[in-house]
Each structure stands twice: as structure tokens, then as C-alpha cells.
Amino acid sequence: MSKDLMQQSGELKRKLEDLSERLAALAGPLAVEEKMRRVEDLDAMAQSEGFWEDAERASAVQQERSKLIKVLEQFQNARAIADDSIELLAMVEDDAESLQAIALEVETLDNLVRAMEMRRMFSGEQDDCDAIIELSAGAGGVEACDWTEMLVRMYVRFAERNGFSVELVDKRAGEEAGTKSATLIVRGDLAYGSLRSEQGVHRLVRISPFDSNARRHTSFSAVAVTPEIDDSIEIEVKKEDLRVETMRAGGAGGQHVNKTDSAVRFTHLPTGISVHCAQERSQQKNRNLAMKLLKSKLYELELRKQMAEKDKLEAAKMENSFGSQIRNYVMAPYRLVKDLRTSHETSQVDNVLDGELQPFIEAYLLNQAAS
């Protein structure tokens, strides 16, 4: 065997041993055995008499099973790659072409292990919930509304990139352009766990397309992220505590104008929490969705009251203006996106605005784990 092949074989062996150890260490934190037993229980439930007659329950069971299977398949796939690569390396350690193929498998394994190690950091009770994202324009007038519209697009693109589904449940247009406020629901594996890092004020600095003198403007938009609770959690909303308002939903005009009072606003009087839904043409559908959003907000509020780490609770109360931002997006005089909590930054502003948020999310999770 040549010296180069011997060195390459030795490096691959060390990497495989390291990755195998890291993979074995993940079995406990990822609760692999517990997930396997839960899948067996869910499969038994699916075989029980009358199971499919309750469509809502059956759907919930299937969704839970799919999430568990995704984690198990990822872990089992990684273990198969590790075992096969170790066995193959022992047989072909002097073959350059085979070593190159093994190196590609090791790279795949490395990515899988890193993804699972990152998954360990999603330890919050609600991390596996779907995410409700509420955006509201702050200081900056028409600029802030345009900036909020850009952020809406950024989160939609993030969802698409990561295989999440996204639903726009409410949107209020700015007086001149852009979006004054919007509400999205992002659904998928660890949606809330991923997006909770986005809560706070986002600041944009750019040459304004609305300024004929091409001056730099600073705009702000606040992002609030809450978990969408499921129907298994009972949240009581008393009728006397609820103010219900109906109104006509906005539209594009002409035949698209909604001529009925289908839009709904619920205000919870004891807490002052308000939700607005206008996307559905049916008032009843908007009422159902508004109630679900309200219950999610009330549930999160109750959890916050019980949390010991008060600093996490204050994030949502920051003023939507200068000095309270969590992330800066600078497009002039230089190009830079920087998260002020983790110091993670990139000059690829366009990529970030196109939904490339994963590096910022990982930096946030790592920072939280270290604190």
C-alpha cells in the first residue's frame, strides 16, 4: 500500500470511529428505544376496532407516528452507513477508488450525526409544536411596512426550504405599500423549536426605494412566535371574558371583494390579548381559527408565568424601535446580517432574505445550550 493510501485509510478510520462513538451517544438523548416502543403502540392502536371511524384521532396518531419514524429512520440510516463503511474499509483499504467512495459515505454520515446532535438541543416542551408567527411593522412608516412584507416572504421561503407547510391566516396591508401586520402558521417537524429563535425586533438599514433622494433609512418590524397547541390541551375561555367583533375582510377589489362580515377579531378582556382572522371567506372558519390562535396565546402566557428564567419572558416585550433589535440586516453602505445575541453574521443578505436561516437558528440553539 502506498503512503498516501495508508494515510487516507487511517484518517477515514479515525473519522468513522469518532462518528460511531458520537452516534452511539445519541441513542439515549434521542430516546430511540422509547420511540420504537411508541411506534409499536401506535401501530397497535391503528389495528384496533373502530380506530379509523374517528378521523381526527386517526390523523393525530398518524402524524405522531410519522414524526417518530422520521427520527428512527435517520438514526438507523446513520448506523447502517457507519457499520457498512467500517466493514468496507477493512477490506479495501489499499484501493483508491473504494476509499474515495467511503469518504463520500463518511461525509454523509457526518452530516447526519451533526443534524441529530442539533436535534438534541430541541428540549423545550413545545419545540415539536407548529409555530404561529405574528409580524407587525414598527418605527419607519411605509418603510417598516415594506420591511414587514419582506420578512413575511423570508419566513415563507424558510418553510418551503425545510419542507414545512405555511398558512397565511391574517394580513393587513400598509396604507401606502407593504404589510402592516401578518400572522402565519408554520407546520412541520420541530417548527416552533426552530422558529422560536426569531422572536424579537428585526432592523433593516438600506437605501429606500421610496425616497427620491436615495437616502438610507432604518426600519423595524417585530416578530412574535408562539406554539400552536393541540386539542388535547384544555384552555377555558369564558364567554363573558371574550369580546367578538366582525367586519368585512379586505380584498383586491371588484368581484374579489368579500361582501359579508367574514373577518373576526377576538379580544380576551382579562389579558387584553387580541387575535384577528380574515383570510377565510367563511366567518365560522375564521371564528374557529381565531379561537385556536387565542387559546395558543393564553397557553403560552400561562407557561411564561410558570417559568423561572424571567429573561426569556421579556423578549416579547421589547419596544419595536432602535436599541431593542435582535438582528440587524444592513444593505447599505455595506452588506451584513448580524444576530446581536449570538454574534453570528453573514454578508449573504439576499440568501438570508430568501429563507436561509438555519445557520442563525443553530447559532442560537448552541448559545442557549452553553448559557
Domains in the chain with CATH codes: 3-119 (1.20.58.410), 128-322 (3.30.70.1660)
**In the structure grid, which three cell numbers stand for residue 25, read together?**
451517544
- Tell me what pLDDT residue 174 has: 87
25 pLDDT exceeds 50? yes
The β-bridge partners of 168 are: 184
Residues 191, 185: Cα–Cα separation, whole Å: 9
pTM: 0.71
Task: Indicate whether 317 pLDDT > 60.
Answer: no
- Run of H or E including 227: strand 216-228
For residues 234 and 94, the model is more confident at 94
Please report the pLDDT score of residue 29 as a whole number: 87
Q: CB–CB of 154/355 below 8 Å?
A: yes
pLDDT at 104 over 70: yes
| pLDDT classification of 298: cutoffs 50, 70, 90 | confident
Give the three-state DSSP class for 185.
strand
Indicate the angle between helix axes 32-46 and 55-91, nearest 10 degrees.
140
Dump pLDDT digits (tens) for 26-61: 999 888 999 999 999 999 999 999 999 988 889 889
Backbone angles phi, psi at 47, to 5 degrees: -90, -5
Average pLDDT over residues 8-18: 92
Q: Are 137 and 145 in contact (CB under 8 A)?
A: yes
**Section 194-205 average pLDDT:** 94
**pLDDT at residue 253 above 60?**
no
Length of the chain: 371
